[in-house]
Amino acid sequence: METQPNKDSQNQGVPTLPEAQVLPTSNKKLSLVPLIFLIYFEVAGGPYGEEPAVQAAGPLFALLGFLIFPFIWSVPEALITAELSTAFPGNGGFVIWAERAFGPFWGSLMGTWKFLSGVINMAAFPVLCIQYMEKIIPALNSGWPRYVAVFVSTLLLSFLNYTGLAIVGYTAVMLAIVSLSPFILMSLIAIPKIHPHRWISLGQKGVKKDWNLFFNTLFWNLNFWDNVSTLAGEVDKPQKTFPLALLVSVIFTCLAYLMPLFAVIGSVSVDQTRWETGFHAEAAEIIAGKWLKVWIEVGAVLSAIGLFEAQLSSSAYQVLGMADLGFLPKFFAVRSKWFNTPWVGILLSTCITLAVSYMNFTDIISSANFLYSLGMLLEFSSFIWLRRKLPALKRPFRVPMGLPGLVVMCLIPSGFLIFVMAIGTKQVFLVSGVFTALGIVWYFFIRFCKSRNLFKFSSRHEFQEYQ
């Protein structure tokens, strides 16, 4: 298909990705099975962290939340990711979509929002590993041993990512099997002890509903479906692989949340306030004994490793994709000669993660979620606009709806995003505003660098048509 260059892109010196075209990449090695589990770890990594939904709103609302919310949020996001990743199967994902829909400024800002939210969230996972190791090695509780442990664990996990996306993908498969096995076993052992009437309980009397915690728990556990789009250029036969991988991972993730939730609610009767993050391990001890509790705690560490690896892969390939698109200097797209991985992107992401790991970043994490929400609103808008702007674009997978239906599909999760953003604190608004301002300054700084030829940038003629 012959297309016309984006005029705004021509004027500002930022290349535009032609329709149905991608950047050339070397060997595409990521197949269906590892891709499914990479998506799984991008989103969930197991039922760890779902427990506060019960504490916040009671058993019935928690079960309904994990039954209904995937249709409101996860399915639309996964459908959009499937359509746009197969239409533009290049590294960069949502950055490409925003750029094609609204021009280079919005593509660059999308990159800033999503990258910062990703690497800040990623900082929590090595810390989580250390928190579980503290129970075995008390010296890691504070002081320099803790700092060294966070530093070393982050470097080791980053090196694993450096060894290749295929290795990371199959590592995710093994981590998922080991970390989910105790939950499957716990659910089976719990069956004879289940009392179904506990599933319809509205909560303990005297415990006030915390809807803010409830919705944030659902949001935290069921988002980031689009993150895998940033490495679409590394996937084998993405037009066929992406839709199937997303379908399987949505079903798999929802079952991984619901199965232990039904089992524990039905078989364990405790004070509602005890349903904090990590309660599943306590429930395992009540249901089967301490051995299963230890297994779930070990699984939590393995899950955190999988979450880190998946997020780092997305962040690193986003950096590579933005360099290929000309939003970053060409140096950021350099790959390892040994493993063909974007080592500059991995290094940059790791450095920011390490910096954030040593901070008290409660407000920064909330701000990262705010930035992610901004990016998602832009992503929904890009999806709708691309359907209207490029109706003839080849879409190997197409969401089977007309434009009015797609608008409705996107408005529902957009309303939820606006609600989550509206309840943010003043500090969240301030930090998010500063990060956004830095993203805008960065865009104009890159334009200045191009005008003065200060760095080398990828140019449009380096794009190749996808066959």
Percent of the chain past pLDDT 70, that is, above it, reads: 90
Q: Which residues neighbour 340 within 8 Å (Cβ) at sequence distance 6 or greater?
A: 26, 27, 164
The reported pLDDT for the residue numbered 10 is 38
The reported pLDDT for the residue numbered 419 is 84
8 A C-beta contact, residue 231 and residue 315 = no
Neighbours of 102 (CB within 10 A): 20
Tens of pLDDT, residue by residue over 379-406, are: 999 999 999 999 999 999 999 999 999 9
Q: Which residues neighbour 445 within 8 Å (Cβ) at sequence distance 6 or greater?
A: none
Tens of pLDDT, residue by residue over 215-254, are: 888 888 898 899 999 988 899 888 889 999 999 999 999 9
Angle formed by the axes of helices 362-389 and 94-102, to 10°?
50
Q: Is the pLDDT score of 424 beyond 80?
A: no
Tens of pLDDT, residue by residue over 80-136, are: 999 999 999 889 999 999 999 999 999 999 999 999 999 988 887 887 777 767 766
The reported pLDDT for the residue numbered 98 is 96
**What's the per-residue H, E or C state across 363-416?**
HHHHHHHHHHHHHHHHHHHHHHHHHHHCCCCCCCCCCCCCHHHHHHHHHHHHHH
Q: What residues does each domain of the chain span?
A: 24-455
From CA 108, how far away is CA 16, in angstroms rounded? 12
Looking at the domain that runs over 24-455, which CATH code has it been given? 1.20.1740.10
Q: Is the pLDDT score of 8 beyond 50?
A: no
Token pair, residue 38, equals 């990479």
Token pair, residue 25, equals 């990449």
Tens of pLDDT, residue by residue over 296-330, are: 988 988 998 999 999 999 999 999 999 999 999 99
